[in-house]
Structure 1
Amino acid sequence: MTITVLPHREALGLKAGQLLVGGQWGPGRDGATWTHHHPATSEEIGEFAVATAADVDDAVAAARQAFEGGWARSRAGTRISLLHRYANLLREHADELRALQALDNSVPLSFGGIYATSVGAAADVVDHHAGWVDKIGGETLPAYQGGDHLAMTFREPIGVVAAILPWNAPFLLFAQKVAPALAAGCTVVLKPSEYATFSVLRMVELLVEAGLPDGVLNVVTGPGDPVGEALITHRDVDKVSFTGSRAVGKHIVEASAGTLKRVSLELGGKSPAVVFSDAPNVGLAAMTTMGAVTLGLSGQACVANTRALVHRDVYDEFIGAAAGIAAAVTYGDPFDPGVLSSPLVNARQLERVLGYIEQGKSEGRLVTGGERLDGDLANGNFVSPTIFADVDNSATVAQEEIFGPVLAVVPFDDEEEAVRLANDTEYGLGAGLFTADGQRAFRVARRLKAGTIGINGFQIEPHLPFGGFKQSGLGREGGRSAFEAYTELKSVLMPLTEELM
């Protein structure tokens, strides 16, 4: 039977999405809308407004007015209380938000409760950054040269922030951008992905309910062109925070050059899982790696270990275990608790992934998968979990971010080769290490050129910085470093006598 998600849409009472500008919800200036089609069924889910460049102008102006009008100088206690109220509201509405996400990007409910993609993780991020509001200050420094004077530093909010979200983890990434920006005293113009808009709009409604003043957060919806382009090129935007593709990230850097906007970018990866012969449990290493590539998001996760570098002594064992995980993955209605993974987000991404799989057939041994799923799933963008073995690390499927359920397995002989292969990529977002040797674990972790390293497991933490080396991006999200990324550092000198300094 062909699956449908329309009854869930009706149960949620989904309404058309609107822009939020200066505290007022409404349509775009020209009345244009975007119709969202569900990636698992191709059914029409709903419509939301497409902002024009003039709408973006209005949103930025509202954010500027709110910034200058008092939010930047608001008391620490005001921001702390608001963010804690918001975190509590997120937790109260977690089930509703997970259901909206399933309508947006088809991430199954079974996966939406896993910490890194959960509403609870987003709430923890909000709570964590609320805790920084009254703890980030400047310094008083001793006079270095003649004269009696004070040398001081202050941290002040940057200003108006353009926050541009991807579709794959809207809860966490909304929180990672919006929470530190608001905590620091910035105002925000937010653009959600057109493939995950309804869940983000509900998160915004809850933030308004928590008591956010008008204009502090504004929302412009629609595709990257024209909406995102109008934001990143706007002369009155002080900072751009973006998570998405490397190509768009490079364009943002170029577009920001004219006004020297501050930029934070998280641009994906081709992260390795390095499995040594002494891994505590090779089957668990395979489950962790193949699970990240197939379960939940179907490999549409920037930090997923889509390259497995495996010692030859455990190579066959790893591939057999990974193939077993692939065979256990289930697809279908995201509201079905037995469904463990999602389709690709749209038809364009489906064709892209299938193209990489065809390329991979000439670059390695196809162990399993590599097909579009049909039958009851024919209306969706489903691809079976795919493993390529005996891949050279220079191959296309081992170097390029596919963003689909495809794992490339590369053999190695010793630690030096493993480190060389792991670092032989233009990306540097994350990596996983599997070994029972604690000294080796720390030794190799220090040598890998990646922003986050998991040893015998991987977890996102709200207080840990997250971001990449090399072409995986600029800056970090999470922890103190994220808060500071939304501030400017100012030095102030004050003589205490009439003597010249």
Structure 2
Amino acid sequence: MPLTVQPHRETLGLKDGRLLIGGEFREADETWTHHHPATGEEIGSFAVASAKDVDAAVLAARKAFDEGPWPRSRAGERIKILRRYSDLLREHADELRGLQALDNGVPLSFGQIYATSVGIAADIFDHHAGWIDKVGGQTLPPYQGGDHLAMTFREPVGVVAAILPWNAPFVLFAQKLAPALAAGCTVVVKPSEYASFCVIRMVELLIEAGLPEGVINLVTGPGNPTGEALITHPGVDKISFTGSRTVGRRIVEASAGTMKRVSLELGGKSPAIVFADAPNVGLAAMTCMGMVTMGLSGQACVAHTRALVQRDAQEEFISMAQMLAGAVTFGDPFDPAVLASPLINAKQLERVLGYIERGQEEGARLVTGGTRLDGDYASGNFVAPTIFADANNDMAIARDEIFGPVLTVVPFDDEAEAIRIANDTEYGLGAGVYTNDVRRAFRVSKALRVGMVGINGFQLEPHLPFGGYKQSGLGREGGQSAYEAYTELKTVMMPLTDEMM
């Protein structure tokens, strides 16, 4: 029988979403109706913030920054509120996972995996709360002149526009808002129109944690008009965005007029380099195929969608990847037996199917998958897990970020060739290296032009920087570097005598 998620909507008590501006929840003149990607059903609606609404939200954040208590609050007060929020996230984890399943169709089974869970979001807030009383400036010895003090201070950057994608709202909400709030900034957050309900609830919990009025503001809606009004607003001091390169370039252009600070994470075409001496070639294959098919169905920026496999290991790698592809289950995201999500919308479905067709036209061998699921799944945006073999790095399926359940296997002969192929890309987000040779593991890791490398595995951690080289973006999220990215560095000099410096 056809899928439906309507009973879960009623169980969760889903309400239509409103804007939050200056501590007040508001309606808007227009609304967005959200359709579930697994069923096509209408789930609910939320306010579409106009340019006027965005202006009001930025002005509220500006007032809270310029006049309010948050940027001037004591470290202990900020720590207390952020840690109270961490506790609230953990208390409401089941509810938030359910809302996400209604938003983007990510199954509850995947929402419990640490890297995409509410738990990692809570840990990120805990982590950044810990930096509040530890990151400061320096007192430096005089370099020349008379007796004086030379000092530096770190101060919050100001009003932050945090723009989220739909695929991993928990972790990305935390990666942007936790360091911004810890540093003393005020925020206007815009979730994706395809994952707003869980973010709306996360914002409500921030208010419950005790965040002062105007420090957090919420504007919902699509890129036009909502996102465009936010990135071009002169009252915004910093933009933090995760999403496509096209939008990232537009943000860089829009930021130039007022020299906004910018942090961008713009995706990747991450290689997994599997040498024949890997500790377990089969496990490497299952790791790569799992990243491409389980949970988000390959709709993840850091997924290792290019498998560079040494020729002697190809047969075993492809066999194990194909076996895992056959074990992936689809359906109701609230069913614990379901392991993978639909593609987010019809546009993305057509895009992925177009790449699969192009891969075959360019001469890659389709091992498995490549089709849209029908029958009970016909109303959803489901694509079968897909593997291409005998590919080369000049093919579109090896160069472009497909953002779907497609793994492209490219053979190599030796270490030098593997490094050359891995670096032959416009992206530079992440990579994996699978080998039993420790020296080779570090040698290859150093040679790769990427921001993150996993050796014989890959894991996200709250305290590690996340981000990439080249066109994968600007800046890092996670760890001390993320906290500092939401601050400005000020130099102060003061003589200690009546003599001039």
Query: Do Structure 1 and Structure 2 share a fold, with TM-score over 0.5?
Result: yes
Give the whole-Å Cα distance in 2 for the aligned partners of 1:274 and 1:56: 45
Partner secondary structure for residue 247 of structure 1: helix
- The whole-number CA distance in structure 2 between the counterparts of 1:367 and 1:446 is 33
Deviation at 1:67, TM superposition (A): 0.7
**Could you report, residue by residue, the CA deviation over 1:328-380 in whole angstroms, capped at 9, with x for unpaired residues?**
10000000111000000000100111111110112200000000000000000
In the other structure, the counterpart of 1:201 is 200
Three-state SS of the structure 1 residue aligned to 2:380 is: coil
The number of residue pairs the alignment matches comes to 499
1:493 CA displacement: 0.6
Q: Distance in 2 between matches of 1:93 and 1:236?
A: 33
Name the SS of the counterpart of 1:380 in structure 2. Answer: coil
- Deviation of the 1:418 alpha carbon: 0.4
TM-score (norm 1): 0.99
Which residue does 1:497 correspond to in 2? 497
Matches within 5 A, 1:381-460: 381-460=381-460
* Corresponding residue SS for 1:150: strand
Q: Say if 2:45 is the partner of 1:33.
A: no
Long gaps (5+) in structure 1: none
Secondary structure of the residue aligned to 2:45 is strand
Give per-residue Cα distances to partners, 1:143-193, cap 9 Å, x unaligned: 000111100000000000000000000000000000000000000000000
Q: How far, CA to CA, are the matches of 1:262 and 1:314 in structure 2?
A: 46
Q: 2:44 maps to which residue? A: 46
Q: Which amino acid aligns with 1:19?
A: L
Residues 1:272 and 2:266 are matched in the alignment = no
1:61-112: per-residue Cα shift (whole Å, max 9, x none)? 1001111122111111110000000000000110000000000000001110
Residue aligned with 2:361, SS: coil
Out of 59, 62, 84, the position equivalent to 2:60 is 62
Q: What letter matches 1:59 in structure 2? A: A
Say yes or no: does 1:220 pair with 2:219.
Answer: yes
Deviations 1:297-340 (A, max 9, x none): 00000000000000000011101111111111000000011100
Write the letter of the residue equivalent to 1:259: T
Instruction: For 2:475, give the aligned amino acid.
Output: G
- Structure 1's consecutive aligned runs of 4 or more residues displaced over 4 angstroms after TM superposition are none
Distance 2:495 2:179 in 1: 34
How much does 1:499 deviate? 1.2
Q: 2:273, 2:253 → 1: CA distance?
A: 35
5+ long unaligned stretches in structure 2: none
Q: TM-score, normalised by structure 2?
A: 0.99
Give the match for residue 83 of structure 1.
82
Question: CA–CA distance in 2 between the matches of 1:480 and 1:471?
Answer: 23
Letter in 2 for 1:442: F
Q: Secondary structure at the match of 1:131?
A: helix
Cα-to-partner distance string for 1:117-167 (whole Å, 9 max, x where unaligned): 000000000000000000010000000001111000000000000000000
Please give the per-residue CA displacement for 1:186-234, whole angstroms capped at 9, x wherever unaligned. 0000000000000000111111100011100000000011100001000
Task: Provide the rounded CA distance (Å) in 2 between the counterparts of 1:442 and 1:257.
Answer: 39
Secondary structure at the aligned position of 1:36 is classed as strand
Question: Residues 465-484 of structure 1: matches in 2 within 5 Å?
Answer: 465-484=465-484
- In the other structure, the counterpart of 2:173 is 174
Letter in 1 for 2:65: F
Q: Does 1:10 align with 2:10?
A: yes
Over the aligned positions, Cα root-mean-square deviation in angstroms equals 0.5
Mapped to 2, the partners of 1:304 and 1:213 lie a distance apart of 38
Q: How does 1:346-365 map to 2 (within 5 A)?
A: 346-363=345-362, 364-365=364-365
Give 1:26 deviation, angstroms. Answer: 1.1
**Aligned twin of 1:153:** 152
State how far apart, in whole Å, the 1-side matches of 2:266 and 2:49 are. 25
How far apart, in 2, do the equivalents of 1:255 and 1:22 lie? 25
Q: Secondary structure at the match of 1:388?
A: strand
Report which stretch shifted further, 78-87 or 354-363.
354-363
Q: How does 1:188-337 map to 2 (within 5 A)?
A: 188-337=187-336
Q: Letter of the 2:216 partner, please give it.
A: L
